Chain A
Amino acid sequence: MKDKYRITHYLPLISVLLATLLGLFLFPYDKSMRVSLTVAMGISYVTWGIVHHYIHRDLNMEVALEYLLIAIFGVSAAIFVLM
């Protein structure tokens, strides 16, 4: 039961990531759209992380910063290629 509960927490994250992937396939040569989708994905990831840890009651500044930095790294790495 606990495992099922934990898996459902990952469903929104996986859905957002798959939606981004789909969006990038639909607009393969629209640079502004690709950049927007990548940034939106990064923001969604940070939001998911904060909400997830808030629900699990282990949210602190260090954890929030970790999600933020990983999101910034991922988005920067993708945008570095695009721009």
Chain B
Amino acid sequence: MSTLSYIFSHYLLPGYSNNQKAKLLHNSTLLSLILFLALGRLIFQNLPGLGIGVLGFASQLPVEEIVRLTNEKRSQVGMGNLVYNPTLSQAAKAKGEDMLAKDYWAHVAPDGTQPWKFFTDVGYKYKYAGENLAKDFSSPSSAIEAWMASSSHKENMLSSKYDEIGIAVVEGDMNGVDTTIIVQLFGKRYESNIAAVTSEISAKTEVVKKIEVEITPIPSPTFIPLPTVSEIVNNRNDIEEIGEYTYKEPTYFQVLISPFSVKKGFSTILTLILIIAFIIDGAFLVKGKALRVGGRTFAHIIFLCLIFTLIILFQSGELMPPITDSTK
């Protein structure tokens, strides 16, 4: 017990044993803490190599939910719902995989490949096309809210130009870091415009014919309902096709961890310990129980409190400014 008490007072309280300054605040200990952080970072980068499964964000990002939330935001401003298009999702998947394969976080690949190539590669001929990218978000709602907070992404999401949406969530190694990318593609098919004009002309021709030849009975149209997003997503074959992430149960020796939450907790605890040590140190200095020459404890507390606030406020996720295109 006395050993424990000695360690506590030696590391946290200024006194004779630590030259009137808590051992935790000595420069040598601060250096050790920095090295400890660097070591933590190194371990995190190499977790998959150590046989520990890192729980990527993809497992928490169901495509269906992203589509639902996007349409919910559109409904709130009186815009029509976007129809989920598996072909567009295929293009999104191809784009995401290309980013991971070529290690780039941008709309245009380092080799000059434009995002529109992925639309045409899957046979999607568009009149209007748009792309939103997000990286390392922990939930669909956080990604949607981030897009909504950015005026340009919001404009893309709520645009009346588009009537279809495709989503892909891809996960893999990007520049040595486990990364989860959400590719959100918007489109309006070129054929749909031609089809609309054609059907309008046909309808008018039909009316003229009716007038000329007297009205003949027309069979009632057959309505074939489009599959809902949940029907598409619940179909395993479609999931394979659009490349949506499927959750895999960990094997016996695997431990799944969320990298962002663990790193945040790790940094928070270390910073908090230092803040507490400085507050105790400050209290001793104010009472005049410790006399020494050193840095300003008050300044250190302010600085570390701000770092603590930043760590708490930091959210996972990164956005890429959106991009759009149209064909005439």
Contact = CB atoms under 8 A, between A and B. Distances in A.
A52 B306 contact: no
Contacts of A82: 314
B107 to A, nearest CB: 15
B217 interface: no
Most chain A Cβ neighbours within 10 Å, of B27, B149, B264, B270 = B27
Contacts of B38: 76
B300 A70 contact: yes
B240 to A, nearest CB: 31
B34 A69 contact: yes
Interface in B310-325: 310-311, 313-315, 317-319
A70 B295 contact: yes
Q: Is chain A's binding surface mostly helix, strand, loop or mixed?
A: helix
Interface string B1-40: 0000000000000000000000000010011011001101
Given A69-B30, A73-B30, A80 B263 contact: yes
B133 to A, nearest CB: 11
A76 B146 CA distance: 25
A67 B300 CA distance: 8
Nearest to A37: B310
Interface string A26-56: 0011110010001001000100110011000
Contact of A49 (B30, B177, B271, B299): B299
Interface in A53-80: 53, 58, 60, 62-63, 65-67, 69-78, 80
A66 B292 CA distance: 14
A78 B299 contact: no
Contacts of B300: 70
A80 B267 contact: yes
A71 B30 CA distance: 10
A31 B270 CA distance: 22
Given A69-B30, A73-B34, A73-B274, A81 B296 contact: no
A80 B294 contact: no
A48 to B, nearest CB: 7
A77 B267 contact: yes
A29 B314 contact: no
B304 interface: yes
Contacts of B270: 73, 77
B319 A30 contact: yes
Given A10-B299, A30-B319, A45-B303, A81 B311 contact: yes
B142 to A, nearest CB: 10
B263 A78 contact: no
Contacts of A62: 27, 293-294
B293 A63 contact: yes
A67 B274 CA distance: 14
Interface of A: 10, 13-14, 17, 20-21, 24, 28-31, 34, 38, 41, 45, 48-49, 52-53, 58, 60, 62-63, 65-67, 69-78, 80-83
Given A21-B310, A49-B295, A73-B37, 13 more contacts: A10-B298, A10-B302, A13-B302, A17-B302, A28-B146, A31-B318, A49-B296, A49-B299, A69-B34, A70-B300, A74-B304, A74-B306, A83-B177
12 contacts: A13-B299, A17-B303, A21-B309, A30-B319, A67-B295, A70-B295, A74-B306, A75-B307, A77-B271, A80-B40, A83-B41, A83-B177
